[in-house]
Amino acid sequence: MTMSIFNAAAEARDFIFTRLPADATRPRIALILGSGLGAFADRLTSPVMIPFKDIPHFPQATVEGHSGRLVIGDIDGIPVAVMQGRVHGYEGYSPQQVTFPVRVLGALGSSTIIVTNAAGGINKGYRQGQLVVLSDHINLTGSNPLTGPNDERLGLRFFDMSEAYSKRLRGYAHAAAQRVGLDVPEGVYLGVSGPNFETPAEIRAFRTMGADLVGMSTVQEVIVARHMRIEVLGISCVTNMAAGVLDQPLNHEEVIETGEWVKDDFSRLLAAILPMIHTGQVSRAAAED
């Protein structure tokens, strides 16, 4: 990317606006859907579907279970932007490329992002198919997307991460889970670079560090979102128990299969959360006027 990230994101944003109806409302809520979880985008009404490959400067998803398109539409009258899939560092992308879509979502006007992922369960109290609200994360990817010069138009050089995952939004998630009858605990997500699954010794070490979940995405996206002062809600789906928790090998097919059979619970939870976030945004905007 030869131009600045700020200008590249603006160019991608302007292209996306050309694909939307002239009277379209800017989506103030965005979602990033992880492996096997992309079916939620099919619930949008009046969807505009834009493949990642058509958007200027956008990286291309290459992993099974990631459709690789941006879908903009409505859920129960709430305008949302949904990334149906994401890219990862292990595909050969830099941290700046991995997080560029978050920059674009912010440029589109999103002040809230719901990041979701498929994760390995480190916490032995979890079960396969469990949905978990993220309370915090540990970055062991070995890199940070903010390394290098800082553009003050995007965010501060040094910024607070003590509430990477919004307490307010986590409260909405728990209220929504109760409403739809789901048991959704909180947990700490540990991000690694991948693409291999972890060893049993690594999982024991991660458990000692306080991690409940492990995965190959999310943390860099959240760092960039918070850099832009975007509020974040994180939800993991435990698609498999991490290495050594069960006496069986791990594979990506299991991740996709679990995402498929948990998609109804996942969709019900998201559909119940969105009105709460939307109402909260409207109330906060009114208070600021």
Catalytic residues: 35, 66, 88, 90-91, 118, 216-217, 240, 252
Contact 98, 221 (CB under 8 A): yes
Distance CA 278, CA 220 (A): 25
Cα 241 vs. chain centroid, distance in angstroms? 20
Helices (H), 45-193: 95-108, 167-180
Distance CA 58, CA 102 (A): 11
Q: Which of 167, 137, 161, 183 is nearest to 280 (CA)?
A: 167
What residues contact 217, with CB distance under 8 A and at least 6 apart? 34, 86, 88, 117, 191
Q: What sign does the dihedral 142-108-275-164 (CA atoms) show?
A: positive
Distance CA 245, CA 228 (A): 37
| Dihedrals phi, psi of 98, to nearest 5 degrees | -60, -40
Distance CA 179, CA 185 (A): 14
Please report which helix (H) or strand (E) contains residue 70, including its range. strand 69-75
